[in-house]
Amino acid sequence: MSRGTLPPLDALGAFLERDVVPALHGSLKSELRAALKNLRDAEAELAVLPALLPAECSALLRLGAEALAWLADNGRDAKESLAALAETHAQIDRRMTDGFYGTDSLIGFGQDVARLTGRILIRLQALARDPALDAPGRETAQGMVTHFYLELRAHAEARIPWQSVFPKNP
Residue 151 carries which DSSP code?
H
Provide the pLDDT for residue 64: 94
3-state secondary structure of 131: coil
Mean pLDDT (whole number) for 51-61: 92
Q: What is the CA radius of gyration of the chain?
A: 21
In terms of Cβ atoms closer than 10 Å to its own Cβ (0-12, 13-18, 19+), residue 7 is exposed
d(CA 70, CA 53) in angstroms, rounded, equals 26
Provide the pLDDT for residue 11: 82
- From 155, 138, 132, 140, select the one nearest 49 (Cα to Cα): 155
Provide the pLDDT for residue 15: 86
Question: Which is more confidently placed, 7 or 44?
Answer: 44
pLDDT classification of 5: cutoffs 50, 70, 90: low
Domain residue ranges in the chain? 3-159
Average pLDDT, the chain: 85
The share of the chain scoring above pLDDT 70, in percent, equals 88
pTM of the predicted protein model? 0.76
Instruction: State yes or no: pLDDT of 170 exceeds 70.
Output: no
Q: Do the Cβ atoms of 129 and 12 come closer than 8 Å?
A: no
Q: Do the Cβ atoms of 159 and 44 come closer than 8 Å?
A: no
